[in-house]
Structure 1
Amino acid sequence: MGLLLRTIFCAIPLIKDCLFCRSAIIEKHYCKVEKQIACVGDLGEPFSVGNLAKDDLTETGIPCVIYGELFTTYGETISQIESHTYKTEGIILSKKGDLLFPSSTTVDAMSLIAPSVINMDGVILGGDMFGIHISPNFNAQYLSYYFNHIAKRQLAKFAKGSTIIHLHYADIEKAKLLLPSLEEQNRMAKCLVTLDDKIKKERTFFDLLNSQKAYLLCHMFI
């Protein structure tokens, strides 16, 4: 039991260190590379999604992503779908490489600049969000990291509202961005995905250790 607890305590700082390292890598790379100007409108074709609420979710059915999950379930990348639905009326399906932005929040404007790239086709998208079909001239995976870590403050100023804060594609369409070349985007995206895979494995291991700890504690008092 003592060894198990020590292993758990070691796993926590490792995950935190990986997350800190990821942010540092993104920022340092961005500061060092040459950049070129592009507008949000240059990134690809915007699209709206259908209506989909929590009440429409089911245990099985068609894989789906609803707007609230962009805050609570997914990070920069959506590679495994957690929700399903049988709703088919007025649905919009994802294309691999779509960038999904939440459109409203009650927290703050910064929290809206948290897009996720979805890495699969045919997933139902719904709720208060908008998407961009990213052009082949840009790396959608890199853009997700870029918006989440570099451009948050810049784009947050375009959000509107007080109690409920909104962000629409039209609000940021003309915003100017400074982006690395496609070659640099591809290189950095590959590095960051590898690091995220490491973080995911460590979190899974941490969850397994916690489950084992709970099991052992339960049986110690039987």
Structure 2
Amino acid sequence: MSNIKKLLEGVEVEWKTLGEIAENVSSGGTPNTGVEAFYGGNIPWLRTQEVGNGDIWSTSIKITELGLKNSSAKIIPANCIIVAMYGATVGKVGVNKIPLCTNQACANVQINAKIANYRYVYHFLLSQYKYIKSLGAGSQTNINLKIVKSLLIPIPCPNNLKKSLEIQQEIVRILDSFSMLTAELQTKLQAELQARKSQYEYYRNQLLAYPMEESDQSSLRSNRSATSIQNSDTLMQPLSTLNPHTGNSVLQPRGKVEWKMLGEIGTFIRGNGLQKKDFMENGVPCIHYGQIYTHYGTFATKTKSFISKETANKCKKAHKGDLIIASTSENVEDVGKTVAWLGDDDVAISNHTFIYSHNQNPKYLAYLFQTQAFLKYKKTKVVGVKVIDIPQKALESFCIPVPPLEEQERIVSILDKFDALTTSLTEGLPKEIELRQKQYEYYRNMLLSFPKNNIKA
């Protein structure tokens, strides 16, 4: 930092508009939707919602040459600054690292390299996000090309462009290094998190994958039709005694188990009557079905939301030890997601949920709902296309191993440790990245806070 301070010491600064330091500023265009010939080509086409304060290496949609001709979009070269002008991302900035075209809600700025370093301008515009957004109008504070062109950029040593570019490059070097450290940390921690999750899932599936004895199969066949045991082919697989990654032996289930359908050992009650609009800051604790797969983990003792006593009187309630199961979702992975309620107070439940009352270890059952056996089973039972549901009868027919309560407790204690480790890493990841981001912003503001005493009227 001492070197950059020397470079900035006594430096004259001139504020120029983005239009003055750009070779070209343009917006993109969108081919007519619904025309198959315009899409599925090899030309990357960027949408406004894909601009998110960072480098852009790919796009989710590609168009054809015919699609490009039928829009006002032009292919822009790499290393342009792209500013989102409409929608939820208005004011956000990106840099395209590949040639591409954009939709009409993007401002594409090609910087004149003889005047300014494009990454210097990029970092400065990042620092102006709130200001740029405030310049807009309409319900989503949209901006336009005129506003983008008028944005002011500080140019150090305007009368000595060689020195000016040297200063800009040094600022870029420092800020890019902080950005790179943040990106590397995010990649590293996400890899660690995935490895931890994989390890946790491996042990969970191993501990809960009881081999089914012949006597259990005979008993089940005598009481139910073979079609009711959809998950038996998975559960009958012999339990591996070795971790395939390390070769070490794993903790295995102990003791004899009985195989029961969930409907035999508990009761399902469908939730009712609770909507998001009923939420309050205080009151009776409640759980909405959407929160089960977006907020809660394996178990919960406190709720995120509350409702009034009047609303709660109309709702079904889960008691301590009950499972709360999401019966509806937009995908198969989330439907059937389960949280064990371990709070002392009864909790109100929304529609699109089931309450499962039983006399087993609630965490043991909740962990069973996370296994590959249940995932495979529910894939054959869900109904719907855009909205996915799992019927009550399907849940009642799901067959599980029921060991003694002491063995359930032993398994839960092991899985709780893995769950805690994974949760701590999940919570620590965004906190650490947030600290790095604040560090970057601190130095960015220090390096780019030039006095505004030379602004053209």
Given that 1:113 and 1:148 are in contact with CA atoms closer than 8 Å, whether structure 2 keeps it comes out as no
| 2:439 corresponds to | 216
Alignment of 1:180-199 (within 5 A): 180-199=403-422
Deviates further, 64-73 or 13-22: 13-22
Q: What amino acid does structure 1 have at the position aligned with 2:303?
A: I
User: Residues of 1 paired with 2:329 and 2:352: CA distance?
Assistant: 9
1:171 aligns with 2:394: yes
Q: What amino acid does structure 2 have at the position aligned with 1:165?
A: I
- The structure, 1 or 2, with the larger RCO (C-alpha pairs under 8 Å, 6+ apart) is 1
* Cα drift, residue 8 of structure 1: 5.3
1:50-95 C-alpha deviation (Å, 9 max, x unpaired) = 3111111123333211011112112322244222222334023321
After the TM superposition, list the runs of 4 or more consecutive aligned residues in structure 1 that deviate by more than 6 angstroms.
Answer: none
User: Residues of 2 paired with 1:47 and 1:144: CA distance?
Assistant: 16
Given that 2:327 and 2:336 are in contact with CA atoms closer than 8 Å, whether structure 1 keeps it comes out as no
| 1:127 maps to which of 351, 368, 375 | 351
Given that 1:49 and 1:125 are in contact with CA atoms closer than 8 Å, whether structure 2 keeps it comes out as yes
The RMSD of aligned alpha carbons is 2.5
Secondary structure, aligned partner of 2:312: coil
| 1:82 corresponds to | 304
| 1:28 maps to which of 206, 209, 215 | 206
Deviates further, 192-201 or 77-86: 77-86
User: Residues of 1 paired with 2:257 and 2:385: CA distance?
Assistant: 34
User: Residues of 2 paired with 1:106 and 1:208: CA distance?
Assistant: 29
Q: Identify, as 1 or 2, the structure richer in helix.
A: 1
1:142 aligns with 2:364: yes
Given that 1:130 and 1:168 are in contact with CA atoms closer than 8 Å, whether structure 2 keeps it comes out as no
Q: TM-score, normalised by structure 2?
A: 0.44
Alignment of 1:193-208 (within 5 A): 193-208=416-431
Q: What amino acid does structure 2 have at the position aligned with 1:67?
A: Y
Given that 2:320 and 2:342 are in contact with CA atoms closer than 8 Å, whether structure 1 keeps it comes out as yes
| 2:325 corresponds to | 101
User: Residues of 2 paired with 1:214 and 1:202: CA distance?
Assistant: 18
Given that 2:321 and 2:362 are in contact with CA atoms closer than 8 Å, whether structure 1 keeps it comes out as yes
Given that 1:113 and 1:156 are in contact with CA atoms closer than 8 Å, whether structure 2 keeps it comes out as no
* Cα drift, residue 7 of structure 1: 5.8
Given that 2:318 and 2:324 are in contact with CA atoms closer than 8 Å, whether structure 1 keeps it comes out as no
- Could you say which structure has the larger radius of gyration? 2
User: Residues of 2 paired with 1:127 and 1:68: CA distance?
Assistant: 10
Structure 1 residues 190 and 70: CA distance shift in structure 2, 3 A? same
* Cα drift, residue 156 of structure 1: 3.5
Q: Which runs of 5+ in 2 are unaligned?
A: 1-177, 210-238, 240-251, 446-457
Given that 1:76 and 1:114 are in contact with CA atoms closer than 8 Å, whether structure 2 keeps it comes out as no
The size of the alignment, in residue pairs, is 219
Q: What amino acid does structure 2 have at the position aligned with 1:76?
A: T
1:112-153 C-alpha deviation (Å, 9 max, x unpaired) = 232221211322211211111121xx2210111112113221
Structure 1 residues 48 and 174: CA distance shift in structure 2, 3 A? same
Q: TM-score, normalised by structure 1?
A: 0.85
